[in-house]
A and B are shown apart, each in its own frame.
Chain A
Amino acid sequence: MAMSGGVDSSVAAARMVDAGHEVVGVHLALSRNKTYGDGRQRGCCTLDDALDARRVADKLAIPFYVWDLSEEFAEAVIDDFIEEYRLGHTPNPCLRCNETIKFTAVLERALAMEFDAVATGHYAQIVQGAAGPELHRAVDPDKDQSYVLGVLQPRQLAHSIFPLGADTKDIIRAEAEARGLLVAQKPDSHDICFIPDGDTAGFLQRHLGSLPGEIVDSESGEVLAEHDGTYAFTIGQRRGLQLSRPAADGAPRYVIDVEIGSRRVTVGPPELLDVYALEGIKPIWTTSPLGESPVELLAQVRAHGVPVPARAYAHGDRMMVELLVPIRGIALGQAVVLYDGTRVVGSATIAVTTRAA
């Protein structure tokens, strides 16, 4: 049972115990900067969080250990995050962490030690289907985390348990309260856990340094401003451009393109952001792969994005997705997750976007 010290994994652990499993709590030490929280912590990775997890395990009378995966995390998640930004992509580190740490490093280690499964406090549901275990959205649409679990391979899914997916967060909080878990009132974590101050641009600047370039207008080609690094810009971004002059028509301008070689950031009107089709690399098929002929599904490109109707098919080792309703502002490196109703079909990393209809 992966225990972050938060409300969700604590209740999930309690439910695993109630269900009669032989449960061992494991807290993952992911950060090398071992600090205490400030009492208002939002993350999941301070020593206070480890202590909270330990106290929950005490209460549930289950063994508890801390596994140091900081090395793996630094390499597979943090370095990857920085490298992706350097390449002008927009990665999702939570998804990468699930893929490489929680359901690979932890799961493999647990299986090697002859445990049967890893349980987490993620909001998602596993349903046993004819073709094997299926991953479905959680009942609570606000908390649904199936998007960041879209990276799970069938084998990983077969050894995963998500005890919370059939309930809403309100019910989980109330249950934590009723069980007397002291973490019941802890705030949810939202930020990237290794950037606790939320200043992603500052974090990237510390790692990538200053790489100045120009911000140009998509129509006139005019240089509107200078910037310190392309990594501070994401396609579709509107805020923080700090352009001195408004567009001719007074309409807001968005980041349309980020070029790494020339360090040029292009801004323009939002219509230029509409994406009609995309290609994903390194597809992961949750239960079984799609065939070569298009199927009508739903596509989602952000953790809390709105799914849109799409036609998708497999083409070699790529996932091809035609969006029947265009999505505005998709950056390379984001993950596309395909759904059939509530069921996750698969996911891939977006490598190509087509903006003309």
Chain B
Amino acid sequence: MSDRSYLDHAATTAMLPDARAAWLAASEHLGNPSSLHAAGRSARKVVEESRESIAADLKTRPSGVIFTAGGTEANNLAVKGLYWQRQQSSGSKSPMRVLASAIEHHAVMDPVVWLGEHEGAIIEWLGVDHDARVSTTKIAESLAQKPAIALCTVMWANNEVGTIEPVERIAELCKEQGVPFHTDAVQVLGQVPMNLGALGADAVTISSHKVGGPFGVGALIVNPATGFTPLLHGGGQERDIRSGTFDAPAIAAFAVAVRHAVAHQEEHARAIRDLRNNLVERVLATVPGVILNGDPDLLGGGRLPGNAHFSFPGCEGDSMLMLLDAAGVDCSTGSACTAGIPEASHVLLAMGVDERTSRASLRFSFGYPSSSVDVDRVVAALPGAVDRASRTVSSRSK
């Protein structure tokens, strides 16, 4: 039994042994999947079988699976690729609108901001309620307004507080208005059932390492009828939407991880929900003043089963993280940027949490290796960490 507890599975999770085996097996074969000879064909077979496997698991068509070098690239491709394509097909260079939720991951938010700053896009940030949920009524109103909208992007579930968004309804609304809809589903795969055929979104982002596959591979699952201007130009390997040599071993392992995530989704969700609920109950009972952020209904379908997110008013989140780290618990302050500098979370601020409280927050996220030992360790370590971290705040505010 490990003497540490890793509770940051929303950041990345352990690689599945089967995925690693598939990865190593594929790495033994020589051949560029785009080559025309026998070696190339054999490598290509691995890629296409993986594509079909992922499409089948997510109930969509293989032709819509565009492999990328991860979730960030997929999100960039969706946001910029849709914007440029829509602008081009409108036949005019005039700026278009972009609807985006105010709680997107940086990999969506930053490309959207970039479009505003560099392409003149008119950005409309969709606010959220105190549980971090967007309003479909407001989205419907925004969609009905002129001028033209290039795309609407709302994440399927929030990475920090775990709130699941009403993406089915938003997809419908977008379809009614003829607006392309993108959703970042990186956090939901394996935790929530995903039926992309039924969803009917124009673009859905998934990532391998969040479900036990290797880093550096992901996919944008697109509607093949929707156009995307490529970000990467080159060999045109992925339907001319994305260029770059296929990483066959990573793709093979990704497909194994997706198969596992989908096949075991229900039991996995139940297991991590039980652990999460146990943690939340005990933390609320033992730490005075603690606040649970996100959807408070721990048994309903509105929250990722593996997510717990707390604010400890009067504490400094990064002090807490450091103290828990020393006590053998790996958790997260939510959004760490380049240099590891914790910033007040834009998600919590959008939920109406004040800046000080938002800096006093920690996320614990469960994954398939998690057990009740991890919950026990957090519950044992928290009161001491809260006590010490609250002293760091009072000394700072002098």
Q: Which residues of A come within 8 Å of B, CB atoms?
A: 24, 27, 29, 34, 47, 50-51, 54, 63, 65-68, 72, 104-105, 108-109, 111-114
Once the chains bind, are A29 and B341 in contact (CB under 8 Å)?
yes
Instruction: Report chain A residues within 8 Å CB of B395.
Output: 105, 108-109, 111-112
Report if B388 contacts A (CB, 8 A).
yes
**Alpha-carbon separation in the docked complex, A113 to B389 (Å):** 7
Given contacts A63-B325, A63-B326, A108-B396, is CB(A113)–CB(B342) below 8 Å? no
**Alpha-carbon separation in the docked complex, A51 to B391 (Å):** 29
**Alpha-carbon separation in the docked complex, A51 to B339 (Å):** 7
**Alpha-carbon separation in the docked complex, A108 to B337 (Å):** 25
Once the chains bind, are B319 and A50 in contact (CB under 8 Å)?
no
Report if B46 contacts A (CB, 8 A).
no
Given contacts A63-B325, A68-B318, A112-B391, is CB(A34)–CB(B339) below 8 Å? yes
Closest Cβ of chain A: how far from B320's Cβ, in Å?
Answer: 10
* Residue in A closest to B319 when the chains form the complex, CB atoms: A113
* Residue in B closest to A49 when the chains form the complex, CB atoms: B339
Once the chains bind, are B341 and A66 in contact (CB under 8 Å)?
yes
Given contacts A63-B325, A67-B318, is CB(A112)–CB(B341) below 8 Å? no
Q: Which residues of B come within 8 Å of A, CB atoms?
A: 316, 318-319, 321-323, 325-326, 337-343, 388-389, 391-392, 394-396, 398
List 11 A-B residue pairs with CB atoms under 8 Å apart, sorted by A's residue number. Answer: A29-B341, A47-B338, A50-B340, A65-B318, A65-B322, A66-B340, A67-B318, A105-B395, A108-B398, A109-B396, A114-B388
Instruction: Report chain A residues within 8 Å CB of B388.
Output: 112-114
Once the chains bind, are B322 and A34 in contact (CB under 8 Å)?
no
Q: Closest 5 A-B residue pairs measured CB to CB?
A: A112-B391, A108-B395, A112-B392, A66-B340, A50-B339
* Residue in A closest to B384 when the chains form the complex, CB atoms: A114
Closest Cβ of chain A: how far from B20's Cβ, in Å?
Answer: 25
* Residue in B closest to A54 when the chains form the complex, CB atoms: B340
Given contacts A63-B325, A72-B396, A114-B388, is CB(A109)–CB(B319) below 8 Å? yes
**Alpha-carbon separation in the docked complex, A50 to B341 (Å):** 10
* Residue in A closest to B326 when the chains form the complex, CB atoms: A63
**Alpha-carbon separation in the docked complex, A63 to B322 (Å):** 9
Instruction: Report chain A residues within 8 Å CB of B318.
Output: 65, 67-68
Closest Cβ of chain A: how far from B104's Cβ, in Å?
Answer: 21
Instruction: Report chain B residues within 8 Å CB of A54.
Output: 340
Instruction: Report chain B residues within 8 Å CB of A50.
Output: 339-340
* Extra contacts besides A34-B338, A108-B395 (5): CB < 8 Å: A68-B341, A104-B398, A105-B395, A109-B392, A112-B391
Closest Cβ of chain A: how far from B203's Cβ, in Å?
Answer: 31
**Alpha-carbon separation in the docked complex, A104 to B395 (Å):** 9
Instruction: Report chain A residues within 8 Å CB of B337.
Output: 34
Once the chains bind, are B322 and A113 in contact (CB under 8 Å)?
yes
Once the chains bind, are A105 and B325 in contact (CB under 8 Å)?
no
Once the chains bind, are B396 and A34 in contact (CB under 8 Å)?
no
For A27, A29, A65, A72, the residue with the greatest tally of chain B CB atoms inside 10 Å of its CB is: A65
Closest Cβ of chain B: how far from A239's Cβ, in Å?
Answer: 37
Once the chains bind, are B392 and A65 in contact (CB under 8 Å)?
no
Instruction: Report chain B residues within 8 Å CB of A29.
Output: 339, 341
**Alpha-carbon separation in the docked complex, A66 to B342 (Å):** 8
Instruction: Report chain B residues within 8 Å CB of A67.
Output: 318
**Alpha-carbon separation in the docked complex, A72 to B396 (Å):** 9
For A34, A66, A68, A113, the residue with the greatest tally of chain B CB atoms inside 10 Å of its CB is: A113
Instruction: Report chain B residues within 8 Å CB of A47.
Output: 338-339
**Alpha-carbon separation in the docked complex, A165 to B325 (Å):** 32
* Residue in A closest to B388 when the chains form the complex, CB atoms: A113
Closest Cβ of chain B: how far from A143's Cβ, in Å?
Answer: 28
* Residue in A closest to B385 when the chains form the complex, CB atoms: A113
* Residue in B closest to A64 when the chains form the complex, CB atoms: B340
* Residue in A closest to B338 when the chains form the complex, CB atoms: A47
Once the chains bind, are A34 and B323 in contact (CB under 8 Å)?
no
Instruction: Report chain B residues within 8 Å CB of A24.
Output: 322, 326
**Alpha-carbon separation in the docked complex, A109 to B337 (Å):** 22
Closest Cβ of chain A: how far from B349's Cβ, in Å?
Answer: 16
Instruction: Report chain A residues within 8 Å CB of B340.
Output: 50, 54, 65-66
**Alpha-carbon separation in the docked complex, A105 to B397 (Å):** 9
**Alpha-carbon separation in the docked complex, A198 to B196 (Å):** 57
Instruction: Report chain B residues within 8 Å CB of A114.
Output: 388
Closest Cβ of chain B: how far from A35's Cβ, in Å?
Answer: 10
Give the contacting residue for B392; candidates A66, A72, A113; CB below 8 A: A113
Instruction: Report chain A residues within 8 Å CB of B341.
Output: 29, 34, 66, 68
**Alpha-carbon separation in the docked complex, A104 to B325 (Å):** 24
Given contacts A109-B395, A114-B388, is CB(A68)–CB(B342) below 8 Å? yes
For B321, B323, B339, B396, the residue with the greatest tally of chain A CB atoms inside 10 Å of its CB is: B339
For B318, B326, B337, B392, the residue with the greatest tally of chain A CB atoms inside 10 Å of its CB is: B392
Instruction: Report chain A residues within 8 Å CB of B398.
Output: 104, 108
**Alpha-carbon separation in the docked complex, A29 to B392 (Å):** 17
Closest Cβ of chain B: how far from A105's Cβ, in Å?
Answer: 6
* Residue in B closest to A46 when the chains form the complex, CB atoms: B339
* Residue in B closest to A109 when the chains form the complex, CB atoms: B392
Once the chains bind, are B396 and A105 in contact (CB under 8 Å)?
yes
For A108, A109, A114, the residue with the greatest tally of chain B CB atoms inside 10 Å of its CB is: A109
Closest Cβ of chain A: how far from B165's Cβ, in Å?
Answer: 30
Instruction: Report chain A residues within 8 Å CB of B321.
Output: 65
Closest Cβ of chain A: how far from B232's Cβ, in Å?
Answer: 24
Instruction: Report chain B residues within 8 Å CB of A68.
Output: 318, 341-343
Closest Cβ of chain B: how far from A71's Cβ, in Å?
Answer: 9
**Alpha-carbon separation in the docked complex, A54 to B339 (Å):** 9
Closest Cβ of chain B: how far from A287's Cβ, in Å?
Answer: 24
**Alpha-carbon separation in the docked complex, A54 to B340 (Å):** 10
Instruction: Report chain B residues within 8 Å CB of A63.
Output: 322, 325-326
* Residue in B closest to A111 when the chains form the complex, CB atoms: B395
Instruction: Report chain B residues within 8 Å CB of A109.
Output: 316, 319, 392, 395-396
